[in-house]
Chains A and B, each alone.
Chain A
Amino acid sequence: MTDAESSTDAAKARFRGTLLRVLTVQVVALAMLGLLQILYG
Chain B
Amino acid sequence: MHWFNWLVVIAYLAWVVIDGIRKSKGTDTISGYFAANKSLSWWVVGLSVMATQLSAVTMIGTTGQGATDGLRFVQLYFGLPLAMVILGVTLVPLLHGSGVYTAYEYLERRFDAKTRSLTAFLFLLSRGMSCGTIIAAPGVVFSAIFGIPLGWSVALIGIPTIVYTMIGGVQAVAWADVKQMVLIVVALLAIVVVLMFQMPVNPHDALQIAGSTGRLRTFDFSFTVNETYTFWSGVIGGTFLMLSYFGTDQSQVQRYLTARSVDEARSSLLMSAYWKIPLQALVLLVGVGVFVYYQFVRPPLLFNPSHEEAVVAEAGAAYAALQSEYGEAFTLRESAALRVASADGDVDAAMEEFLAREADIQTIRGEALALAEDVTGESSRDVNYIIPRFVLSELPIGLTGLFIAGVIAAAMSSIAAELNSLATTSVIDFYRRWVKPEATDAHYLVVSRGATAVWGLFACIVATYAATLGSLIEVVNRFGSFFYGSILGVFLLAMIPRSRGTGAFVGLIAGMSAVAAVTFGAPSVSFLWHNVIGAVVVLVVGLLLGGIGSEGDTA
Chain B residues with CB under 8 Å of A39's CB are 207, 211
- Which of A15, A30, A40 meets B85, CB within 8 Å? A15
- Which of B88, B89, B216, B277 meets A37, CB within 8 Å? B216
Residue B270, interface by CB 8 Å: yes
Asked if residues B219 and A37 are in contact (CB atoms below 8 Å), the reply is: yes
- Per-position 1/0 for B258-276, Cβ under 8 A of A: 0000000010001001100
- Which of A22, A36, A40, A41 meets B270, CB within 8 Å? A22
Residue A23, interface by CB 8 Å: yes
Q: List 5 A-B contacts (CB under 8 A).
A: A18-B88, A22-B274, A30-B277, A40-B212, A40-B216
Residue A1, interface by CB 8 Å: no
- Per-position 1/0 for B56-82, Cβ under 8 A of A: 000000000000000100100010011
Given A22-B84, A29-B278, A29-B281, A40-B273 contact (CB < 8 Å):
no
CB distance from A28 to the nearest CB of B (A): 9
CA distance A26 to B74 in the complex (A): 12
Interface residues of A in 7-41 (CB under 8 A from B): 11, 15, 18-19, 22-23, 25-26, 29-30, 33-34, 36-37, 39-41
CB distance from A36 to the nearest CB of B (A): 5
CB distance from B62 to the nearest CB of A (A): 16
CA distance A17 to B303 in the complex (A): 48
Asked if residues B277 and A29 are in contact (CB atoms below 8 Å), the reply is: yes
Chain A residues with CB under 8 Å of B306's CB are none
Residue B519, interface by CB 8 Å: no
Asked if residues B278 and A41 are in contact (CB atoms below 8 Å), the reply is: no
Asked if residues A34 and B219 are in contact (CB atoms below 8 Å), the reply is: yes
Asked if residues B218 and A37 are in contact (CB atoms below 8 Å), the reply is: yes
Say which size band chain A's interface belongs to.
10 to 19
CA distance A39 to B273 in the complex (A): 27
Given A18-B270, A25-B274, A33-B219 contact (CB < 8 Å):
yes
Asked if residues B207 and A40 are in contact (CB atoms below 8 Å), the reply is: yes
Chain B residues with CB under 8 Å of A19's CB are 85
Asked if residues A40 and B277 are in contact (CB atoms below 8 Å), the reply is: no
CB distance from B220 to the nearest CB of A (A): 10
CB distance from B287 to the nearest CB of A (A): 14
Given A18-B88, A23-B81, A33-B210 contact (CB < 8 Å):
no
Chain A residues with CB under 8 Å of B433's CB are none
User: Interface of A with B (CB < 8 Å)?
Assistant: 11, 15, 18-19, 22-23, 25-26, 29-30, 33-34, 36-37, 39-41
Asked if residues B277 and A26 are in contact (CB atoms below 8 Å), the reply is: yes
CB distance from B158 to the nearest CB of A (A): 35
CB distance from A30 to the nearest CB of B (A): 7
CA distance A33 to B82 in the complex (A): 19
Q: Which partner residue on chain B sits nearest A11 by CB separation? A: B89
The tally of residues in B whose CB lies under 8 Å from a CB in A reads 26
- Contacts A15-B85, A36-B211 known; list 5 others, CB within 8 Å: A11-B89, A18-B85, A33-B74, A34-B218, A36-B216
- Per-position 1/0 for B196-237, Cβ under 8 A of A: 000000000001101110101111000000000000000000
Chain A residues with CB under 8 Å of B281's CB are 29, 33
Which of A15, A30, A34, A39: most chain B CB closer than 10 A? Answer: A30
Chain A residues with CB under 8 Å of B81's CB are 22-23, 25-26
- Which of B78, B82, B212, B218 meets A36, CB within 8 Å? B218
Given A18-B270, A23-B81, A36-B207 contact (CB < 8 Å):
yes
Q: Which partner residue on chain A sits nearest B211 by CB separation? A: A40
Chain B residues with CB under 8 Å of A26's CB are 81, 277
CB distance from A31 to the nearest CB of B (A): 11
Asked if residues B208 and A40 are in contact (CB atoms below 8 Å), the reply is: yes
Q: Which partner residue on chain A sits nearest B207 by CB separation? A: A40
Chain A residues with CB under 8 Å of B266's CB are 18
CA distance A33 to B281 in the complex (A): 8
Asked if residues A41 and B211 are in contact (CB atoms below 8 Å), the reply is: yes
A-B pairs, top 7 by smallest CB distance, nearest first, are A40-B211, A41-B217, A33-B218, A41-B216, A40-B207, A22-B273, A40-B216
Interface residues of B in 471-501 (CB under 8 A from A): none
- Which of B89, B210, B278 meets A40, CB within 8 Å? B210
Q: Which partner residue on chain B sits nearest A20 by CB separation? A: B85
Chain A residues with CB under 8 Å of B278's CB are 29
Chain B residues with CB under 8 Å of A34's CB are 218-219
Q: Which partner residue on chain B sits nearest A12 by CB separation? A: B89
Chain B residues with CB under 8 Å of A22's CB are 81-82, 84-85, 270, 273-274
CA distance A12 to B250 in the complex (A): 28
CA distance A34 to B231 in the complex (A): 12
